[in-house]
Structure 1
Amino acid sequence: MSEGPALTAGEQTMAINGGNVVYEILGETGDLIALTPGGRFSKDIPGLRPLAEALVEGGYRVLLWDRPNCGKSDVQFYGQSESHMRAETLYKLVTALGEGPCIILGGSGGARDSMLTTMLYPEIVRKLVVWNIVGGVYGSFVLGGHYVTPSILAVRGLGIEGLLSVPEWRERIEQNPANRQRLLDLDADEFLKVMLRWLNAFVPKPGQTIPGVPDEMFDNITVPTLIIRGGENDWDHPKRTSLEVHCLIKGSTLIDPPWPEDAWERAGEKFAQSGGKTFCLFDTWVQAAPAILDFLGK
C-alpha cells in the first residue's frame, strides 16, 4: 500500500467516507471560519492563506482544508455532484471537530460548495460569505469540460489506467502517493456513471442559477449572508449570477467587489501568458478581508 502525503507542521488528517482529508486550523481563539477556495485547488493555492491570516488577525480561527480530489487529500468519487460530495465532507469534518455552528466562506467553486453546505446542513452554519460565484452557459460548460470530460475520455479510451495519464490526477498522486492505487482500484463502469452525473450538473438548466442546484434549495439558506458581486465583464463568475443569488437568498447583503472590476480577466491573462506557471487568480481575495470582518462583526 502506497504511503499517504507528507504533512507539514499544523496539518492533520481525518478519515471521512472512506478517504483521508487533510486540514489545518489557523489561529488560537475566536469563532471558527471554514474557508474554501475554488476549482480543484488545494488549501495552499497562492492567495488563499493571506486572506485566512487577515481573518485570524481579525479575531477568528480559520479552517483550511483540502477537499477530496484536491491537494493532499484522497481522491473520492460519489454523490450527486462533486460539490455535493464536498458539502457532505465539510459537514462531517466540522461535526467531528465539534465546531458547529461555524462561519462558512468560499470563493468561485468554493462559493458553490459553501452555499450547498448551508442548504443541506444548515445546523452547522452561523453566517455565510461567498464571492466569484460561477454561473451562466460559458462558466458552467468550461467547468464541465475542464474537470470532468478529460477523465471520461481517458477511461473510455484506456480503461481505468487511463486516469494515470490525466495531468490533474498525476498531480494528486505526486502530492499523495496513495492516490495512485485508489484510482486503479476504481471500477471503470461505476466511475463513468459518476462522471456523467457530475458532468450533468454543469449542463445549464432552467431553474438552476448555480450548476447542479435547484433554485428552490436557496430557501434553506436563512443565516445572515454576504455576497460579493462578480466583476462587470467576468464570464466565469457573471455579475448577473451574483444578482440572481442575492434575489434567491432572502435578506442577503450584496456589495461591489473590493478589487478592480476586471481583476479576474487580468489575472487570467497573466496566468495564460506565463504558460500556467504564475498562479494569481486568487491574489486579490485578501482585499475582501475588511468587508468580511465588518459583516461578521455586525
Structure 2
Amino acid sequence: MAKIEVNGLTLDYELIGEEGAPPLVLTPGGRYARDTAGVPELGAELAKGGFRVLLWDRPGCGASDIAFTAASESVMNCEALVGLIKALDLKDVRLAGGSAGSRVTLMAAARMPESVRKVAIWWISGGPVGLAGLAWFYCGDQIAAASKGGMEAVVELPSWADQIARNPKIRDILLAQDPDEFIETMQQWGKAFAYRDDTPVPGMTASDFARLTMPVLTFRSGKSDMAHTRRTSEWTHEMLPHSRLVEPPWREDEWNYVSTFPMDLANRRGRFERWPLLSTMLLDFFRD
C-alpha cells in the first residue's frame, strides 16, 4: 500500500507482482475501493500469471482524495489514472476494467494511446435507462441531500461512509464545498451521463475510439443486464478499430445474479467477487 500525489490529489494504490514484470492496471466500478471482494483476487491471479498489477483507488473511492473541478467524475478519474501511470513511470501498460472501470479505462487509453499496449473491458454501462440510473446513483442523492440540508447532509449519506472511514479528509473536503456550487457541479456531472445516439460510452467520441488502435478484448454483456446492456458492449466493439468480442466466463444473467450478493468486505463478498473467473481469458489475451 502506498500513496502518491497526482493532479493535486493524494491517491491510494498498491503494486503486486514481480518488479520489472509488464505493468497491468485493474480498475473496478461503482465507487468501490480497490480491495473490494474479487478485485485483489483477480489482481493476484494476473500477478501470478506474470504481470506487475496496479490496484488503485479512484478519486472519491476508498482512501483516495476527491475534488470537484473536473468536467465530470469520469474525466476526473481517467485523468487521475493517466497521471498515476506517468507518476509511477509505467511503460507499455495493459489496462483492464469493469463497469465504471471500463469507462475510465477507455477514456484514459484515449488520452495516452501511445502508452497502452492492450485493453480489456467488461460490464460497459450504457443505454438510455442505464445511464439515467448512473446520473441518479452518482449525483442525484447528492443533489437531494445538499438541497435539503447543505453539505452537512451530504457527508451523512451512506454513499460516503466508506470513503470517510478510510480517509477522514474526504469529510473536510465535502464540508468545504459551497452547497449551491456543489449542486451545480453535480448537475453538470449528471449531465455527462446523458445518452447519445453517436456514442455508446459517455465521455467517448468517435475520434476517441479511433485513437484506440491497440488490441481490445471486449466482453459481451448479458441480455438481461439493463445496467450494462448487451447492445452497449456490441456497439463499443464496433467503434473500436481492433476489438475482439467474446463471451464472458460466467452466467448470462451474471449482473442480476451478483447484484443479490451482500457487500461484505470482511467475508470477501460483493458484486465483483466472481471477477477472478476472468483471469484465464485475460492472461491469454494480455500475454504477447
Q: TM-score under structure 1 normalisation?
A: 0.91
Task: Note the residue ranges of structure 2 that are not aligned, 5 or more in a row.
Answer: none
Aligned partners of 2:193 and 2:48: how far apart in 1? 37
Deviations for 1:236-278, whole angstroms, at most 9, x for unmatched residues?
1111111101100012111101111112111113449x9xx98
Aligned partners of 1:232 and 1:47: how far apart in 2? 23
The structure 1 residue matched to 2:111, chosen from 103, 106, 120, is: 120
SS of the residue aligned with 1:159? helix
Aligned partners of 2:229 and 2:85: how far apart in 1? 30
Percent of counterpart pairs with the same letter? Answer: 36
Shift of 1:279: 4.1
Amino acid in the other structure paired with 2:11? V
> Which residue number in structure 1 is paired with residue 18 of structure 2?
28
For the pair 1:14 / 2:4, whether they are aligned, the reply is: yes
Shift of 1:106: 0.3
SS of the residue aligned with 1:283? coil
Q: Output aligned runs, 1:20-169, within 5 Å.
A: 20-29=10-19, 30-169=21-160
For the pair 1:214 / 2:205, whether they are aligned, the reply is: yes
Amino acid in the other structure paired with 2:83? K
Shift of 1:173: 1.2
Q: How many residues align?
A: 285
The structure 1 residue matched to 2:242, chosen from 239, 247, 251, is: 251
Shift of 1:159: 2.0
Aligned partners of 2:279 and 2:191: how far apart in 1? 35
Moved over 4 A (4+): none
Q: TM-score under structure 2 normalisation?
A: 0.94
Aligned partners of 2:192 and 2:128: how far apart in 1? 12
Could you tell me whether the CA contact under 8 Å between 1:100 and 1:123 is conserved in 2? no
Could you tell me whether the CA contact under 8 Å between 2:38 and 2:268 is conserved in 1? no
Could you tell me whether the CA contact under 8 Å between 1:36 and 1:43 is conserved in 2? yes
Task: Note the residue ranges of structure 1 that are not aligned, 5 or more in a row.
Answer: 1-10
Could you tell me whether the CA contact under 8 Å between 2:6 and 2:87 is conserved in 1? no
C-alpha RMSD of matched pairs (Å): 1.8
> Which residue number in structure 2 is paired with residue 283 of structure 1?
273
SS of the residue aligned with 1:269? coil
Aligned partners of 2:12 and 2:261: how far apart in 1? 30
> Which residue number in structure 1 is paired with residue 286 of structure 2?
296
